Structure 1
Amino acid sequence: MPEKELSYVSSLKQSGGVNVDVVDYDEDKNLSAWGKFKDSFKRYDDNDLGIDPNMTDMEKLAVKTANSPLARTLKSRHLQMIAIGGAIGTGLFVGSGSKLSTGGPAGVLIGYAIIGSMIYSMCQAMGELSVTFPVAGAFVTYNNRFLDPSWGFAMSWNYAMNWLVVLPLELVAASITIQYWNDTINPASLVVIFYVVVIVINLFGARGYGEAEFIFSIIKVLAVIGFILFGIIVDCGGGPKEGYIGAKYFYNPGAFSNGFKGVCSVFVAAAFAFAGTELAGLAAAETANPRKSLPRATKQVFWRITLFYIISLLIVGLLVPYNDSRLLDGSSSVDAKASPFVIAIVDAGVSGLPSVMNVVILISVLSVGNSSVYGSSRTLAALAASGQAPKFFNYIDKAGRPIFGIVASCLIGALCFLVASNKEDTIFTWLQALSGLSSLFTWGSICLCHIRFRYVLKKNGRDTSELGYTAQTGLWGSYYGFILVILVLIAQFWIALWPLGGSPNASDFFENYLSAPIVIFFYICHKIYTKNWRLYIKWQDIDIDTGRRELDLELFKQEIAEEKAVIASKPFYYRIYRFWC
């Protein structure tokens, strides 16, 4: 190993790391339950990390993120359910309705399949990086490490801002969902309940988030599987109201609506639907054994894309014509009345099931709101550790919570009370615009970080034999994912500038493309402030060792070889299972 890399490893060994399953804040056994609770909010004493003052800023950042005191309490079952259910939300259950109207059933399938293939490639790249470097901030800090600090600053704030604005949006969506049953209830009173629930869950730290998502995801997964079975029965003529339906709606009114432009309009909606897929990587630093847990979690993406999205959307397209006026009804894109899933059940004439599906939609909304607090607080902590956000955001308490990041997210979340304002629609339209393209930039950057990592590994005369997990899609998968992100951004620019059924106007353009100029603004401002005019970090200056939990690479290689030999000795059906799951 090169001398420079050994110095990083030595520094990490000197620091001791924070290799704990649960941060032990019960130092005083005589404290009462209330005393222990109060004591848990005190700052975790991380002592001296052993950072050499002669290190560069990038080297110091690598050591800090590798030694974050975030509690490692997430288990394999948490990560797998976060990966499976993390992106099953309103984007699928409700948002797909408007895109069924603009793109047609075949257009929706094509759009979601293309974005889904990009997501699979991205998750494989993220899995490889996160298993190798399970550091605080994960892909948020990889940009600083493998690409460029200014791009890292822009991407980190882009990602943090995305999750910060999602919380008030989802809380309002929850209140709108309740109005499906009773529209006389004051939505502001409903928002209070959901707001408190999300805050309480996140005060239990990573374990609270993991357990909540585990339960939420199981419910969502069962709901999707149940809908698929229900849809097959109804389509084949088993419903109480209508006989055999088959594929008649693919012929009349047709498979496509608005042609190629209609398909392009589906891309961003699909990206919004898949947002949150990357959270399993962000949770790597708080996972007891990411080398065992993360590979299985990232592999689950294939099943989520094929089973939960493609098959369920195919069923929806078979049961609901794209010209059904109800798909565009409602005051919001998260209005349960506009859900094609609910419409399909209502048309089938099965009483009671529409309410069940709306309960699932409500749970999905709360799940995304819960994830938004987790994602934004960890991102803000990583930004503070790198000196790109106020230092107090890097305050990690004895329970392993980035408490000020959680507080900031909850304060921004209070915007949900604007639901009582008569300007509610305008405000939340622009909040949604802030997060519109955010995920695409994040996913493209993850793919590019993977490309750079592999390049540096090769230039140092090393190979993938030292990696705990190798992306199934390989390096070409990251190239595919990155190029596809660029093409989707171009397609969305076209749709934003020349909207469907309209002429070019500033309002429509920024509602659909606001994220892009904001990212560029952050990038340029950081370049000007730091006077760092380099476009990228030279490969010689990239550290590919700090942050690994396995410091003895030779021993680690031997362990990997033994594990592969054990799997190779198993029957073929077991090998196939382990490849996909």
Structure 2
Amino acid sequence: MEEMIMNEEIIENKNHDLQRGLKRRHITMISIGGTIGTGLFLASGNVVSQAGTLGGPIAFLVIGILVYILMKGLGEMSTFMPTVGGYTTYSGLFVHPVLGFMVGWNLCINGFLGLGAEVVGGAMILNQFFPSISPVVFCIIISLLVLGLNSIDVKSYGEAEYWFAGIKVVAIIFFLIIGVLMIFGVIGNQGFIGLSHWNSETVFPKGFTAVILMMTGVIWSYLGVETVVTAAGETENPQRNIPKAINTIFVRILIFYVGSVTIMGLVVPHNNVSVLKNGYAGLFGLAGIPGASTIMNIVILTSLVSAANSIVYLLSRTLVTLSKEGKAPKALGKVNKRGIPMNAVFLTLFLGQVSLITNFVSPDKVFIWLVSIAGFNTLLGWFSSFLSHYKFRKWLVANGGSVDKLKFKMGTYPFPTIICLLVLVAIAIYTAYSPSTRFSFYIGAPLLVLYFIIGTYLNKKGKLQETDYKPFLEAHLNETEIQ
């Protein structure tokens, strides 16, 4: 009897695995809308109010350029080795296993905080419609909805994100059109606005140092962009579809992030935007379009659920990889017959209930705390990605591969990568130095030390397993020989 049960368990583990159910249109729309969530719709108001009407767009542009370079490097590695682990796997393989452990768990803890921020953001929007109901109730409802979306199969997740992202993209395009018309006085009661909101008191109201400080929050706004790379392991023909998604990222950053934040600063007075008073709904209110502000809040709510959905997908797949590499309990690597790692999904949503702190502290304060800490912690993931890409080409050549045969390459290597590494170090130092952001350093830095200690211990014990890269390398070498 015991032998039969063991055989059934072996068959179950053998047959159930993650599935390549994401099609090209799914991955394209995920890449467009995956990052559009709380960070843009709510955090952007805080960035503009602190950094200014010109400082806000500058902060989004600087980090946007960094993100584009980041994705080019990740794209190069993911088309060579399309795995679910994404940059956590690359850090462990191309740099050091301990760094892979640190990055993996930092991403998870960071994601739990990010998920909490998305849920809190959604609760704040719903609380505007139903002020008599506690935000905690909305936090639980949104979490249950996200659980349902992540429990069907990966194709259903892709389909949900396809439509969620579509709604966000249409809303922002509509926002940009209305904003431009308002600037020229075509609609609204303000008349011709032009550049009147760009003056000595508004462009950098708290000095340029505030722009640098706000970059930590802006970094968090782009959290989720790496979902495209993580999804490579469940994407049809990733060597073709991933590069196409990555190559258009910078255009999307200019339009959706820099463009919309610029329009916001030009139309909505910078002292009238904040976390609770987002500039998107505020602009429609100034435009005098009946019900448009309410509709925009509903769109923002939809986008927050979408972003939370993407975070759960990203973290659950990361936990599966960590489990397979000996960096997390084996139970988290278990996948059901639908190709869903339910244990990892449950854990992600459970730890994401950090949002319930809103029961004791005001939602807007909790939101800023979570964004600040998550923004600082994101620095490690991005730093390791740049470092992994810097080491990747040397690793490839050392193992007999050829850079010329890569299906996707970042140009001008390695200079952009090195510059971005230095920029991230500078942002981290300044974040630790400034009194207004120092608390995120005090929380984030000890966690990094803890990850390092645990990872080093596990590595010495031989618990950290090397990623199985040989099939990918062999495919690369065979293709080289054919050509």
232-241 or 206-215: bigger deviation:
206-215
2:399 is the counterpart of 1:399: no
Offset at 1:423?
Answer: 7.7
1:298 to 225, 246, 249: 246
- Equivalent residue letter for 2:376: L
State whether structure 2 residue 273 is matched by structure 1 residue 327.
Answer: yes
Q: Specify which structure has the bigger relative contact order, considering alpha-carbon pairs within 8 angstroms and separated by 6 or more residues.
A: 2
Distance (whole Å) between structure 1 residues aligned to residue 424 and residue 153 of structure 2: 33
2:3 is aligned to: none
Question: In structure 1, what residue type is equivalent to 2:127?
Answer: Q
Deviation at 1:315, TM superposition (A): 0.8
Of 347, 363, 368 in structure 1, the residue corresponding to residue 307 of structure 2 is: 368
Matches within 5 A, 1:114-263: 114-251=62-199, 253-263=201-211
Match of 1:288 among 197, 218, 236: 236
TM-score by structure 2 length?
Answer: 0.90
8 A Cα contact 1:154 1:522, kept in partner: yes
How many Å apart are 1:113 and its aligned residue? 0.9
Indicate the residue corresponding to 2:416 in structure 1: 477
Secondary structure of 2:109's counterpart equals: helix
What's the RMSD between the two structures over aligned residues? 2.7
C-alpha separation between the residues in 2 aligned to 1:486 and 1:82? Answer: 29
**Structure-1 separation of matches of 2:175 and 2:348:** 34
Contact map agreement 1:454 1:475 (CA 8 A) in 2: no
Counterpart pick for 2:42 among 94, 101, 104: 94
Mark the CA change 1:305 to 1:472 in structure 2 (over 3 Å): closer, same or farther.
farther
d(CA) in 2 for partners of 1:256 and 1:423? 28
**Secondary structure at 1:180 match in 2:** helix
Q: Which residue matches 1:73?
A: 21
Deviations 1:451-473 (A, max 9, x none): 10112234456432221211245
Counterparts of 1:185 and 1:80 in 2: how far apart (Å)? 37
Answer whether contact 2:38 2:118 (CA < 8 A) is retained. Answer: no
Alignment of 1:334-353 (within 5 A): 335=276, 338-353=277-292
Distance in 1, Cα, partners of 2:191 & 2:481: 60
User: Quick check: 1:127–1:281 contact (8 Å CA) kept in 2?
Assistant: yes
Distance 1:424 1:137 in 2: 32
Structure 1 residues 547 and 351: CA distance shift in structure 2, 3 A: farther
- The code of the aligned residue for 2:149 comes to I
- How far 1:431 moved relative to its partner? 4.8
Partner of 1:548: 472
Once residues 299 and 356 of structure 2 are traced to their aligned partners in structure 1, the CA distance between those partners, rounded to angstroms, is 23
How far residue 403 of structure 1 moved from its aligned partner, in angstroms, is: 1.7
CA apart distance, 1:133: 0.4
1:45 to 3, 8, 13: 13
* Aligned counterparts of 2:441 and 2:182: Cα–Cα separation in 1: 36
- The answer to whether the aligner puts 1:527 opposite 2:462 as a matched pair is no
Give the TM-score of the pair, scaled to structure 1: 0.76
Task: Identify which of 309, 332, 357 aligns with 2:296.
Answer: 357
Q: Which has the larger radius of gyration?
A: 1
Range with greater deviation from structure 2 (377-386 or 433-442) = 433-442
- 1:399 is paired with a residue whose SS is coil
The one-letter amino acid paired with 1:546 is K
* TM-fit CA distance, 1:434: 4.3
Match of 2:446 among 488, 496, 517: 517
- The verdict on how the C-alpha distance between 1:543 and 1:205 changes in structure 2, with shifts beyond 3 A counting, is closer
Query: What SS does structure 1 have at the residue aligned with 2:472?
Result: coil
Name the amino acid aligned to 1:467.
L
- CA distance in 1 between counterparts of 2:356 and 2:443 reads 24
Q: Distance in 2 between matches of 1:316 and 1:400?
A: 42
| Distance apart, 1:287 and its partner CA | 1.0
2:14 is paired with a residue whose SS is: coil
What secondary structure, in the 3-state scheme, does the structure 1 residue paired with 2:150 have? helix
Structure 1, gaps ≥5 residues long: 1-40, 48-67, 500-507, 534-541, 560-581
Residue type matched to 2:215 in 1? F
SS of equivalent residue, structure 2 residue 224: coil
Superposition deviation, residue 433 in structure 1: 5.0
CA deviation after TM superposition for structure 1 residue 426, in Å = 7.2
Q: CA deviation at 1:264?
A: 0.8
Q: Which runs of 5+ in 2 are unaligned?
A: 1-8
Identity of counterpart residues, as a percentage? 31
* 1:297–1:471 Cα change, 3 Å: same
- Tell me the number of residue pairs that the alignment of Structure 1 and Structure 2 aligns: 473
Q: What are the within-5 Å matches in structure 2 for residues 376-415 of structure 1?
A: 376-415=315-354
Q: Name the residue aligned to 2:5.
A: none
Give the residue type in structure 1 aligned to 2:318. Answer: T
SS at match of 1:522: helix
Aligned to 1:567: none
**Cα pair distance change 1:424/1:313, threshold 3 Å:** closer
CA distance in 1, matches of 2:264, 2:326: 48
Q: Is the 8 A contact 1:99 1:266 kept in 2?
A: yes
Conserved? CA contact 2:120–2:363, under 8 Å: no
The structure-2 alpha-carbon separation of the partners of 1:43 and 1:188, relative to structure 1 and needing over 3 Å to count, comes to: farther
**Equivalent-residue separation in structure 1 for 2:273 and 2:72 (angstroms):** 34
Distance 2:476 2:244 in 1: 24
Aligned CA distance change for structure 1 residues 383 and 462 (closer, same or farther; 3 Å) = closer
- How many Å separate the matches in 1 of 2:350 and 2:141? 15
